[in-house]
């Protein structure tokens, strides 16, 4: 039996908020001045307007509350959290799964607030990661840029399907339908030009070697109806491209204080400046909030959860994590999968044995580990181990694997000999 001597962590003055869109229920628990060892509890409803929240802050200050906790309910927690944080309170954002009410009890806003206050005052929960204000602003910009890029991609796909409806196969011949040649051809189609020979001559650069194929691809039945829709879609694509450039300029200005960290992350193969900006926006630059790299991977849900019962470890998913961070890591992994690097070879080795999804999670775990070490040490630099790292370090294992594969293919026993003698079968 393992004996653990832990101190009792009791927060004397705590408040818990059950937040909704229009209002919140606040439960304040403080020591009872009249009875030693007893607690005094106050439950009151407040609106979520600025004036009501300021009155709540005054009441919390009057009762000398030291910690304010709230559940992460949609985006409704943000204005409450930010205002109370600006008023000087220690605010905790809690995962609703971690502080779920005991089954069998009635569920009301008042009882939820009381339960949350009791959980927090006894130290039975831990706060979620909320980055500081500069990182939050950077996060808003990078997330909006990603949304704009996704919307632009959808609009391009709509345009491609519209051309397919008109039997125009431009995307089959041109690798980039929205390049210089593609835009010139699309502009001519919108202007009323329908002759495939004239349209094909608008090709530039390497696409001119496919003039005959272009003539075939541009022979269709595009009419004024298709031209109108095509013009509107191109206008939206151009407008979003301009918006993306403007947001990117704002990101560069906002991330200027963290230029050294961006340069550090940019050294990793597969992480460009854009992905480095997104990683800093989602993780911040202060790795003190994550004691180890494993804590960071676990928080991002890029590590398997423990699921043990009756002494047996059972399969478990990683769970739902930060979708914006997962998208960035997925893009980085897609680039690494085609690279001749240690991480690229790690992905390929794992995908052969465990499948692509598990390989993406494992490679993302390795990326986060590297990112943690770089951000934790300003003087650290990334050094790639090389694609042949496992083969050179584990030569005996690699040799055994090759012999096993050869035996499986030939159905014969293979014996490896030294010197100039060939392997005997």
Q: What is the DSSP letter of 339?
A: S
pLDDT for the residue numbered 102 = 66
Q: What is the pLDDT of residues 31-81, one digit of tens each?
A: 888 777 788 888 999 999 999 999 999 999 999 998 999 988 888 899 999
- In angstroms, rounded to a whole number, what is the distance separating the alpha carbons of residues 268 and 370? 9
Contact (CB, 8 A) for 391 and 346: no
Cα–chain center distance at 149: 15
pLDDT for the residue numbered 122 = 84
Residues facing residue 69 across a β-bridge: 16, 92
pLDDT for the residue numbered 57 = 93
Confidence class for position 155, pLDDT limits 50, 70, 90: very high
In the block, residue with structure tokens 């014969």: 412
* Higher pLDDT pick, 4 / 43: 43
Which alpha helices (DSSP H) does 105-223 contain, by range?
109-121, 133-165, 170-173, 180-191, 196-200, 211-217
Residue 300 predicted with pLDDT over 60: yes
> Model-level pTM?
0.83
Mean pLDDT computed over 158-177: 92
In the block, residue with structure tokens 């272009």: 214
- Concatenating the DSSP letter of every residue in 232-250 gives HHHHHHHHHHHHHHHHHHH
Residue 237 predicted with pLDDT over 90: yes
Residue 327 predicted with pLDDT over 70: yes
- Cα distances (angstroms) measured from residue 153 to each of 149, 241, 246, 397: 6, 10, 18, 45
- Concatenating the DSSP letter of every residue in 252-301 gives HHHTGGGHHHHHHHHTSTT--HHHHHHHHHHH-S-GGGSSSHHHHHHHTT
Residues facing residue 289 across a β-bridge: none
Q: Which two tokens stand for residue 413?
A: 């026993």
Mean pLDDT computed over 382-391: 84
Mean pLDDT computed over 112-137: 88
Residue 163 predicted with pLDDT over 90: yes
| Number of Cβ atoms within 10 Å of the Cβ of 37 | 6
3-state secondary structure of 345: helix
pLDDT for the residue numbered 123 = 80
CA triple 297-298-300, angle to 5 deg: 65
Contact (CB, 8 A) for 17 and 99: no
* Higher pLDDT pick, 104 / 231: 231
- Cα distances (angstroms) measured from residue 317 to each of 68, 84, 295, 313, 354: 32, 36, 17, 13, 14
Q: What is the pLDDT of residues 262-288, one digit of tens each?
A: 999 999 988 989 999 999 999 999 999
- In angstroms, rounded to a whole number, what is the distance separating the alpha carbons of residues 179 and 380? 40
Residue 162 predicted with pLDDT over 60: yes
3-state secondary structure of 101: coil
Mean pLDDT computed over 300-308: 80
3-state secondary structure of 21: coil
pLDDT for the residue numbered 99 = 74
- In angstroms, rounded to a whole number, what is the distance separating the alpha carbons of residues 162 and 178? 14
Q: What is the pLDDT of residues 192-218, one digit of tens each?
A: 989 999 999 999 988 999 999 999 999
Residue 425 predicted with pLDDT over 50: no
* Element of type H or E holding 230: helix 224-254
CA triple 391-394-399, angle to 5 deg: 75
Contact (CB, 8 A) for 67 and 127: no
* Higher pLDDT pick, 84 / 8: 84
Query: Residue 32 phi/psi, 5° resolution?
Result: -85, 120
Mean pLDDT computed over 319-324: 86
3-state secondary structure of 91: strand
Q: What is the pLDDT of residues 43-54, one digit of tens each?
A: 999 999 999 999
97-111, 160-174, 262-276: least confident range: 97-111
- In angstroms, rounded to a whole number, what is the distance separating the alpha carbons of residues 312 and 206? 60
């Amino acid at each position: 039996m393992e004996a653990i001597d832990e101190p009792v962590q009791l927060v004397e003055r705590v408040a818990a908020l059950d937040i909704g869109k229009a209002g919140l229920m606040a439960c304040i628990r403080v020591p009872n001045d009249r009875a030693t060892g007893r607690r005094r509890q106050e439950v009151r409803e407040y609106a979520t307007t600025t004036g009501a929240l300021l009155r709540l802050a005054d009441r919390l200050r009057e009762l000398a509350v030291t910690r304010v906790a709230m559940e992460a309910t949609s985006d409704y927690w943000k204005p409450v959290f930010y205002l109370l944080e600006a008023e000087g309170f220690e605010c905790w954002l809690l995962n609703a799964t971690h502080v779920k009410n005991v089954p069998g009890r009635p569920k009301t806003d008042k009882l939820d607030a009381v339960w949350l206050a009791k959980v927090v005052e006894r130290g039975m929960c831990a706060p979620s990661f909320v980055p500081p204000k500069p990182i939050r602003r950077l996060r808003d910009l990078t997330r909006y840029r990603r949304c704009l890029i996704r919307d632009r991609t959808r609009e391009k796909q709509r345009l491609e399907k519209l051309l397919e409806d008109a039997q125009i196969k431009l995307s089959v011949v041109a690798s980039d339908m929205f390049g210089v040649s593609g835009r010139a051809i699309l502009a001519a189609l919108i202007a009323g030009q329908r002759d495939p020979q004239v349209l094909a001559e608008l090709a530039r650069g390497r696409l001119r070697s496919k003039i005959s194929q272009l003539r075939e691809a541009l022979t269709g039945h595009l009419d004024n109806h298709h031209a109108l829709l095509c013009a509107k879609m191109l206008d939206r694509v151009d407008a979003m491209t301009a918006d993306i450039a403007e947001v990117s300029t704002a990101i560069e200005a906002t991330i200027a204080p963290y230029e050294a960290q961006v340069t550090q992350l940019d050294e990793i193969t597969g992480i460009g400046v854009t992905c480095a900006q997104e990683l800093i926006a989602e993780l911040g630059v202060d790795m003190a909030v994550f004691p180890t790299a494993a804590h960071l991977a676990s928080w991002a849900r890029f590590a398997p959860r423990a699921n043990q019962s009756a002494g047996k470890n059972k399969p478990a998913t990683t769970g739902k994590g930060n979708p914006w961070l997962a998208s960035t890591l997925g893009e980085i992994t897609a680039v690494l999968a085609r690279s001749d690097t240690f991480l690229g070879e790690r992905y390929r080795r794992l995908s052969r044995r465990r499948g692509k999804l598990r390989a993406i999670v494992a490679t993302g775990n390795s990326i986060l580990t590297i990112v943690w070490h770089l951000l934790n040490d300003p003087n650290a630099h990334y050094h790639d181990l090389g694609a042949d790292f496992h083969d050179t370090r584990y030569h005996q294992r690699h040799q055994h694997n090759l012999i096993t594969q050869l035996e499986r293919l030939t159905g014969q026993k293979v014996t490896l000999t030294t010197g100039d003698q060939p392997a005997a079968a």
